[in-house]
């Protein structure tokens, strides 16, 4: 069934070409960088959690805007648009449902945290870092599966390792710089990877002329 295998490969190649632009990498890098900037929420002179929430919300909206504009003005004019078959469309729907549930759970978790309902849980140190890491890695991993985007598995692990790395850095550097440094390294390296992919992409696919 050589032809079948080749056709599958052809579809995969077409699908994966949508990740060649590095814009998803830049987006994820920015999201992870946001974790490092969370302590700067204090600057707003608002209650601590609200300040953090507003800062990360604004930052994440910025990341989404960058991704949308990048796709619209860089990717689409260069490699066009492909509408994939029913299986990919079903995966996209499942991903949207999963992300919707995830956002909802995140908001509920934040509200519960603000109300102090988790006060009885006495998790500290590396155990807490690992637990938070799982909460970060899991959704990223699920996204990687539904998106069939293999680099995202690595980013899921790196993102999950962020708070663990913060605890390691805390042995040498005082907070909040340990958090800024840990997520700065992780988010920054993903961001740089994305930029390298983007430069390669722009070089490889110049904007086609108006003949199209």
User: Where along the sequence are the contacts to another protein (CB under 8 A)?
Assistant: 1-3, 6-8, 10-11, 13-14, 17, 76-86, 89, 205, 208, 211-212
Q: Nearest to residue 51, comparing CAs of 131, 114, 104, 124?
A: 114
Of the pair 43, 211, the CB lying nearest another protein is at 211
Surface-to-core class of residue 30, CB atoms within 10 Å of its CB (0-12 exposed, 13-18 middle, 19+ buried): buried
Cα separation, 123 vs 34, in Å, equals 24
In terms of CB distance, is 4 or 115 closer to another protein? 4
Q: How far is the CB of 103 from another protein (least distance, A)?
A: 28
Nearer to another protein, 76 or 104 (CB): 76
| Shortest Å, Cβ 193 to another protein | 23
Distance CA 106, CA 5 (A): 41
Provide, rounded to whole angstroms, the least separation between the CB of residue 208 and another protein.
6
Give the nearer residue to another protein in terms of CB position, either 42 or 204: 204
Tokens of 116: 């102090």
């Amino acid at each position: 069934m050589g032809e079948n295998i080749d056709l599958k490969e052809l579809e995969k190649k077409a699908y994966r070409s949508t990740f060649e632009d590095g814009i998803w990498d830049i987006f994820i890098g920015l999201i992870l960088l946001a974790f490092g900037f969370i302590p700067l929420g204090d600057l707003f002179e608002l209650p601590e959690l609200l300040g953090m929430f507003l800062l990360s919300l604004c930052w994440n909206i910025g990341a989404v805007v960058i991704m949308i504009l990048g796709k619209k003005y860089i990717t689409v004019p260069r490699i066009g648009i492909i509408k994939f078959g029913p299986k990919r469309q079903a995966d996209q729907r499942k991903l949207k449902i999963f992300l919707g549930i995830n956002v909802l759970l995140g908001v509920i978790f934040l509200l519960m945290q603000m109300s102090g309902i988790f006060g009885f849980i006495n998790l500290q140190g590396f155990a807490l870092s690992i637990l938070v890491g799982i909460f970060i890695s899991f959704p990223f991993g699920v996204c990687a599966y539904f998106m069939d985007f293999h680099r995202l598995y690595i980013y899921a692990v790196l993102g999950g390792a962020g708070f663990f790395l913060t605890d390691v850095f805390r042995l040498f550097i005082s907070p909040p710089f340990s958090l800024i440094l840990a997520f700065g390294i992780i988010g920054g390296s993903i961001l740089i990877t994305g930029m390298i992919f983007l430069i390669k992409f722009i070089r490889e696919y110049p904007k086609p002329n108006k003949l199209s």
